[in-house]
């Protein structure tokens, strides 16, 4: 039996002396989409930052069965762990094409797969990222990460503040990634979005995983879901 694409065992995370995550266990298989849902401050973003190596953490983190908890973030990225932060962080002075080239690590890379996933960017390749809409920047942030061809993708609040058409395009892209056998772990509060893309959702509350639910329990939200979201 093959190892999960990504697994964390007893993962705790800290900001200085303050502990933000407590003994979290999770795993994501290849071709699986798992969502983290919970209120603001529940630990969703911190979980992703701990996994990629941007938050001080202890516990075991395994990528394709290999321990990576002691590796810096850039090494994890080179191994195939992609991360799209909530803040997007595109290079606004560079064009869309140049942003994608930076993600790929070279200029002579195949744009076609990315343009299939994010068709609205096709006519914007020579436009500076500063002149993109918020939704276009979000698509670019995801596409730039995918340009590096990661095997596991971490997405932090991908649909936050996005127009419905952009949200639908991002959902289609995530489903396509799943079809390619990639593992996706995303943090999200949009239950409709999660129900559309995720195989299951982990419930976070005060830095603890307090349950796991199937997409059918999101719409309408079950009692457990309403509890962690304060609905």
Digit-coded pLDDT (tens) for 175-223: 999 999 999 999 999 999 999 999 999 999 999 999 999 999 999 999 9
The residue whose two tokens read 């290079």 is 91
Q: Is residue 1 part of a domain?
A: no
Q: Is residue 220 part of a domain?
A: yes
Q: Which parts of the chain sit beneath pLDDT 50?
A: none
Pair type for strands 33-37 and 183-187: parallel
CB 184 within 8 A of CB 178: yes
State the CB neighbour count (10 A cutoff) for residue 116: 11
SS3 148: coil
Tokens of 114: 């990315």
CB 17 within 8 A of CB 41: no
What does residue 94 show for φ and ψ, rounded to 5 degrees?
Answer: -105, 155
Q: How many domains does the chain have?
A: 1
CA dist 216 and 194 (Å) reads 10
DSSP state of 119: G
Outline where the chain has alpha helix (H).
44-52, 73-79, 96-104, 112-117, 134-147, 164-179, 191-197, 223-229
CATH code: domain of residue 221: 3.40.50.300
Q: Is residue 147 part of a domain?
A: yes
Tokens of 133: 């809409």
Residue 163's pLDDT is what? 85
The residue whose two tokens read 């009692």 is 223
Cβ neighbours of residue 126 closer than 8 Å, sequence gap 6 or more = 95, 96, 97
Tokens of 90: 């595109």
Domain hosting residue 100, numbered range: 6-229
The residue whose two tokens read 């911190």 is 46
pTM higher than 0.85: yes
CA dist 172 and 180 (Å) reads 13
Q: Is-cis flag, bond preceding 220, omega within 30?
A: yes
The residue whose two tokens read 């502990």 is 19
Residue 161's pLDDT is what? 81
CA dist 183 and 33 (Å) reads 6
Q: Is residue 75 part of a domain?
A: yes
């Amino acid at each position: 039996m093959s190892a999960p694409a990504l697994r964390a065992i007893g993962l705790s995370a800290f900001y200085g002396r303050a502990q933000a995550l407590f003994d979290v266990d999770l795993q994501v298989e290849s071709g699986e989409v798992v969502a983290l849902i919970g209120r603001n401050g529940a630990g969703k973003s911190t979980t992703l930052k701990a996994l990629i190596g941007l938050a001080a953490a202890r516990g075991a983190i395994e990528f394709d069965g290999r321990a990576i908890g002691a590796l810096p973030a850039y090494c994890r990225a080179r191994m195939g762990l992609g991360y799209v932060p909530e803040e997007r962080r595109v290079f606004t002075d560079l064009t869309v094409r140049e942003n994608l080239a930076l993600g790929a690590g070279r200029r002579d890379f195949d744009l076609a797969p990315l343009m299939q996933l994010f068709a609205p960017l096709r006519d914007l390749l020579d436009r500076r990222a500063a002149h993109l809409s918020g939704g276009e920047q979000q698509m670019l942030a995801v596409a730039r990460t995918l340009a590096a061809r990661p095997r596991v993708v971490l997405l932090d609040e991908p649909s936050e503040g996005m127009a419905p058409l952009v949200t639908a395009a991002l959902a289609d892209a995530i489903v396509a990634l799943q079809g390619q056998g990639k593992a996706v772990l995303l943090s999200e509060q949009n239950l409709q979005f999660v129900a559309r893309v995720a195989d299951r959702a982990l419930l976070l509350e005060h830095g603890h995983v307090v349950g796991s639910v199937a997409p059918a329990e999101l719409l309408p939200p079950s009692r457990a879901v309403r509890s962690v979201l304060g609905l």
